[in-house]
Structure 1
Amino acid sequence: MELPQWLQQAIQARLDEVSARIEHDPELNRVREEKDEAFEGLFAGKDIEQTPEYAEWESQYIVSKGIENERLYMQGLRDGIQLTVSLLGQSMFEETNAKADQTINANP
């Protein structure tokens, strides 16, 4: 089943918005700066992969990506729940109205 184009565009717009917000997050910026500083330390060593600086950079990189992925996941989860609740609420509202209409039409 393919999603309607308007829904795909809405999902993409939300992803772009959340990604931009995460990109400017102060905590994540701090982690990125630490990662970049650790990366710059890599060039002081000759055998890059065997240096403690490389291990530090790799550690900071993994932490940075982990935080980004966690925040994207959590925001997606919140958005999914909000969408589900909204759709269920609309569905229940329509069912209630349909039942009310049936009651009114059954009792002239």
Structure 2
Amino acid sequence: MNLPSWFREAIQGRLDDVAARIQHHPELKRIRAEESKAFQVLFAGMDVQHMPGFAEWEDRHHYSQAAMNERLYLQGMEDGIQLAVALLSHSDLFDDTTSVKSEHNEPGT
């Protein structure tokens, strides 16, 4: 199924907007700052003693990425639900002349 270009552009615009807002989220800013600090400590003096620093940086980096992905996922779920509700509630999308017949025969019919 090919989506219309206007729809793809709208979805991409929404993704760009959400990603930009996530970049300014206070909790994620704090997590990225911790990650950056751990990374700087790691490379401040490259010797064998700082190898545990790499593990700390790697853990913080993975945590940072996981937190961002979680927020993107939750925002996507919210957007999907809002889209589904909007589409289902839009009366122009459905043909009002279509009737649904009962599966059970009513008395007298």
Q: Same fold (TM over 0.5)?
A: yes
Matching residue of 2:85? 85
Structure 1 length-normalised TM: 0.81
Once the two structures are superposed, residues 5-29 of structure 1 have per-residue CA deviations (whole angstroms, 9 ceiling, x without a partner) of 1100000000000000000111100
1:97-108 maps to which residues of 2 (within 5 A)? 98-99=96-97
More helix by share: 1
Is 1:16 the equivalent of 2:16? yes
Structure 1 segments of 4 or more deviating over 3 A? none
For 1:6-45, list aligned pairs within 5 A: 6-43=6-43, 44-45=45-46
Aligned to 1:106: none
Aligned residue number for residue 102 of structure 1: none
Report the Cα offset of residue 41 of structure 1: 1.1
Q: 1:36 offset after TM fit, Å?
A: 0.4
- Alpha-carbon distance in structure 1 between the residues aligned to 2:85 and 2:78: 11
Distance 1:39 1:75 in 2: 29
Residue type of the alignment partner of 2:29:
N
CA distance in 1, matches of 2:48, 2:13: 43
Which residue is 2:2 aligned to? 2
Unaligned runs of 5+ in 2: 98-109
Identity score, percent: 48
In the aligned structure 2, how far is the partner of 1:45 from the partner of 1:55? 14
C-alpha distance in 2, partners of 1:98/1:11? 29
Gaps of 5+ in 1: 100-108
Q: TM-score of the superposition, structure 2-length normalised?
A: 0.80
